Amino acid sequence: MSITTTTHLNFQGDARAALEFYQSVFGGRTTIASYSDFGMPKDAPGADLVVFGQVESEDGFRVMAYDSPGAPAASLIGTGTTRREHGTTLTEQSCFVAVRGETLAEVETFWDRLVVGGSVVEELAASAWSPGFGMVTDRFGVTWVLDVAAAG
Domains 7-76 and 82-148 share a fold: yes
pLDDT interval class at 91 (50, 70, 90): low
pTM for the structure as a whole: 0.75
Element at 90 (helix H, strand E): strand 88-91
Specify the fold of 7-76. 3.30.720
pLDDT at 49: 93
pLDDT interval class at 83 (50, 70, 90): low
Question: Is 1.10.760.10 the CATH number for 82-148?
Answer: no
Provide mean pLDDT across the span 118-143.
Answer: 92
Query: Is residue 149 helix, strand or coil?
Result: coil
* Sign of the CA dihedral running 34, 5, 111, 87: positive
Q: 26-69: per-residue pLDDT in tens?
A: 999 999 999 899 888 999 888 899 999 999 999 999 999 998 87
What is the residue extent of each domain of the chain? 7-76, 82-148
Element at 18 (helix H, strand E): helix 15-26
